[in-house]
Amino acid sequence: MPNIEVILGDITKQAVDAIVNAANCSLLGGGGVDGAIHRAAGPELLAECRTLHGCETGKAKITKGYRLPAKYVIHTPGPVWQSGGYGEEALLRSCYRSCLELASQNGCETVDFPSISTGVYHFPLEKASRIAVGTIAAYLAEHPEIRRVRMVCFDARTKAHYDRALAELA
Ligand code: ADP
């Protein structure tokens, strides 16, 4: 079994090597988990993000964690769900994979993800949870340098979907 866990919690409180931010393409902060991460990390995070000149959907960029307990923040803009006909699934897969590649390149052994795109970007949770755990499991199978990945879910409904997707993998 791949080393993937699903927990209920607040990603800004996790003392791991890297947390992932479900960002937008500006990388200059927003609502939801993005706002929470910027509030908890402090203004130095926004200052570093300004130097990055944004990020394309499906790609990722890394910063330090500043006042967060996490060492790094990996920022990835997820796709906005339109109808499924605009490459949304491939873009979401690319988000998870790009974040894990950056984690490997920066020596991160423990990585926590929020449920990318399933908040204001409205990606259907059932599809998103399967894409997330499938992509993470495939990556971990080839990259033992990452010891553990967790999905940090903010509500019970989200956690139930990720628990089910993980159970389906087994
Ligand atoms: P997106 O724009 O990618 O949809 P959102 O921030 O709107 O991003 O939502 C993504 C997920 O993050 C949702 O499930 C939301 O409930 C969750 N979320 C919000 N705040 C936190 C937090 N502090 N820790 C973990 N997850 C969070």
Give the model confidence (pLDDT) of 88-118 as tens digits: 999 999 999 999 999 999 999 999 999 999 9
C-beta of 96 in contact with ligand 1 (< 6 A): no
- For atom 19 of ligand 1, which residue has the closest CA? 33
Residues that are catalytic: 34
Q: Is the pLDDT of residue 144 over 60?
A: yes
Q: Is the pLDDT of residue 1 over 60?
A: no
**Could you tell me the distance, in angstroms and rounded to a whole number, from the CA of residue 3 to the centre of ligand 1?**
22
Q: Is the pLDDT of residue 170 over 90?
A: no
C-beta of 76 in contact with ligand 1 (< 6 A): no
pLDDT reported for residue 2? 73
The structure's pTM equals 0.98
- For atom 15 of ligand 1, which residue has the closest CA? 119
Q: What number is the average pLDDT over the span 5-23?
A: 98
Ligand 1 closest atom vs CA 77? 3
Q: Is the pLDDT of residue 146 over 90?
A: yes
pLDDT, averaged across the chain = 97
Q: What number is the average pLDDT over the span 60-68?
A: 98
- For atom 18 of ligand 1, which residue has the closest CA? 33
Instruction: Give residue 150's region: left, alpha or beta (phi > 0; psi -120 to 50).
Output: beta
Q: Rounded to an integer, what is the distance from CA 103 to the centroid of its chain?
A: 11
**Could you tell me the distance, in angstroms and rounded to a whole number, from the CA of residue 119 to the centre of ligand 1?**
6
C-beta of 22 in contact with ligand 1 (< 6 A): yes
